[in-house]
Amino acid sequence: MLTIDQVTQKSAPRLGGLHPVLLAAVNALIQRSYARGVPIVITAGMRSFAEQNALYAQGRTKKGDIVTNARGGSSYHNYGLAVDFALLLPDGQSVSWDTKRDGDGDKLTDWQEVVQEAKKLGLEWGGDWTSFQDYSHLQMAFGLTTAQLKAGQRPTAEQVKMALSRINGGDEQVNKDVEITINLNGAKLTAGVLDNGTTYVPVRALAEALGAKVTYDPVNKTVNVETQ
């Protein structure tokens, strides 16, 4: 199993030049996808106008398949506002564009899991486009067209603040513990914590109330619950 450090290092060379908000979103996306069992790698980030024009030529004046409809200056990549991702396979080297893959075996395609997390972070997905679907592509447009960006417009300070708060605030919500009360047959037994869908309860309080015996084995770090 890949560590989060191995996964993040894989993308590091392609994060230069990104807009700070997109960088924050991408870092969060790498972490959250990993937490769901889906390691990803960023395969493209900031692209100069010249690099964009070279890509545009592919499948038109140069051989290969058409990979973009955008000339230099017409892609959000040219302003550090877009990235492309792919799945990072368990060997930590190979990359997959298989949108049907379910590497963590949770009956959701890995691709959809990443896209779900991306959208929560405020990213737009190229797979939603109607004219030319680009399943690897994620961007933050801030309501600006590439023509406006080309003319020098940039997201406002307020837009940046709101986007960052969505990225960071979402994180707090996911990790927020909720204090709860455990009732046994209608009477309060003890307090517990609900953390991201899992309820944590002091095991001794609950087990003993149900007539079981609780012992702790410090050597094996094991709690034994025994019923008669």
Binding site for Zn ion (CB under 5 A): 82, 84, 137
Shortest distance (Å) from residue 139 CB to Zn ion? 7
Give the residue at shortest CB distance from Zn ion.
137
35 vs 95 by CB, closer to Zn ion:
95
Cα–Cα separations (whole angstroms), residue 225 to 53, 167, 184, 203, 211: 67, 42, 18, 9, 10
Shortest distance (Å) from residue 135 CB to Zn ion? 10
Structure tokens at 98: 């298989």
Shortest distance (Å) from residue 112 CB to Zn ion? 18
40 vs 207 by CB, closer to Zn ion:
40
Shortest distance (Å) from residue 137 CB to Zn ion? 3
Cα–Cα separations (whole angstroms), residue 51 to 55, 79, 174: 6, 12, 38
Cα–Cα separations (whole angstroms), residue 38 to 28, 150, 178: 13, 35, 27
Shortest distance (Å) from residue 68 CB to Zn ion? 7
55 vs 207 by CB, closer to Zn ion:
55
34 vs 85 by CB, closer to Zn ion:
85
33 vs 52 by CB, closer to Zn ion:
52
Structure tokens at 130: 């109607």
Q: Phi and psi dihedrals of 149, rounded to 5? A: -65, -40
Q: Report the alpha-carbon distance of residue 44 to residue 116 in Å, rounded.
A: 20
